[in-house]
Amino acid sequence: MPELPEVETVRRGLAPAMTGSVITAVDQRRPDLRFPFPDNFAQRVTGATVQSVERRAKFLMFPLDSQETMIAHLGMTGRFSIVAGHRRLEPGAFYAPDPPGGHDHLILEVKAPTGLSQRITFSDPRRFGFIELLSTAELASGRLSGLGPEPLSPTFSPEVLVARLKGKATPIKSALLDQKVVAGLGNIYVCEALLRARISPKRLARTIGLVRAQRLVAAIKTVLSEAIEAGGSTLRDYAAADGSEGEFQQRFYVYGREGEPCLHCASPVKRMVQSGRSTFYCSSCQR
């Protein structure tokens, strides 16, 4: 589900409720998601203050005043939601009168400096998401350390992209899905960026020179920025933390539009499979 724009939208939804709030109660409802929860997860985060809510690529990061950082990845169907207008908790009545659903795997009770308590639920039907808890030292060496540049940062330049694609024998579509090349794109936004840059998804990555890289970097930044402004793309599961859906799916040029006319040239949008995933493209516009 969630690529960079969706994760950023979730971050923006969670930040007001969580920044500066204390985690007052934790209900971890199963031992694992894609990976096991960290050892003693509930004990380690209960009582900690969330210092901020940040994003790196498709990861949400919650630095705590306990010197550990909670990391969440939404996988395909992960979702954070905030229950507002929350009542005072009675012992043993954590959920009443709203029992958690079968895919609600983690529930955090957070209390803001204002005294308001809110319940934050992580649900994930497919359980491809995961939660980690890392010390600052582990952050530097762990899963996030190998990620490529943030696509919306100034460090992601045409020159940097060309250097990262150098020698790659794989199609550009596959290369852009590789989080070590650039971090945060997924299937939707790679397809959309390649259309906007007029580059064929089949083109070998190593043949992207500076001119095409300029178009591609600009297209990636534009499509991601516009998608964030639109609150992301909702195909089925995705929603922001307040439950609202994204709008950017209405502005897809190619994704999910096989057989429909290309919005640039009106020839039919094609679909093919590359490294096991659907690629939507216009064979007339993209070279």
Q: Binding of DNA at residue 58 (CB under 7 A)? A: yes
The yes-or-no answer on residue 166 being catalytic is no
The one catalytic residue in 168, 198, 202, 277 is 277
Q: Are 171 and 274 in contact (CB under 8 A)?
A: yes
Q: Binding of DNA at residue 171 (CB under 7 A)? A: yes
The yes-or-no answer on residue 68 being catalytic is no
Q: Binding of DNA at residue 138 (CB under 7 A)? A: no
Q: Binding of DNA at residue 34 (CB under 7 A)? A: yes
The alpha carbon dihedral of 170, 176, 181, 186 has a sign of: negative
Q: Binding of DNA at residue 121 (CB under 7 A)? A: no
CB contact set of 264 (below 8 Å; sequence gap of 6+): 195, 253, 282, 285
- Contact residue for DNA among 39, 91, 169, 259 (CB under 7 A): 169
Classify residue 268 by burial, with Cβ atoms within 10 Å: 0-12, 13-18, 19+: middle
Q: Binding of DNA at residue 100 (CB under 7 A)? A: no
The yes-or-no answer on residue 277 being catalytic is yes
For DNA, the closer CB: 158 or 171 = 171
Identity of the amino acid at 9: T
For DNA, the closer CB: 21 or 257 = 257
* Ramachandran sector of residue 200 (left: φ over 0; alpha: ψ -120 to 50; beta: rest): beta
For DNA, the closer CB: 202 or 264 = 202
Q: How far apart are alpha carbons 202 and 208 in whole angstroms?
A: 11
The yes-or-no answer on residue 6 being catalytic is no
Q: Binding of DNA at residue 201 (CB under 7 A)? A: no
Q: Binding of DNA at residue 118 (CB under 7 A)? A: no
The one catalytic residue in 5, 8, 55, 58 is 58
Query: Could you tell me the two tokens for 260?
Result: 């429909």
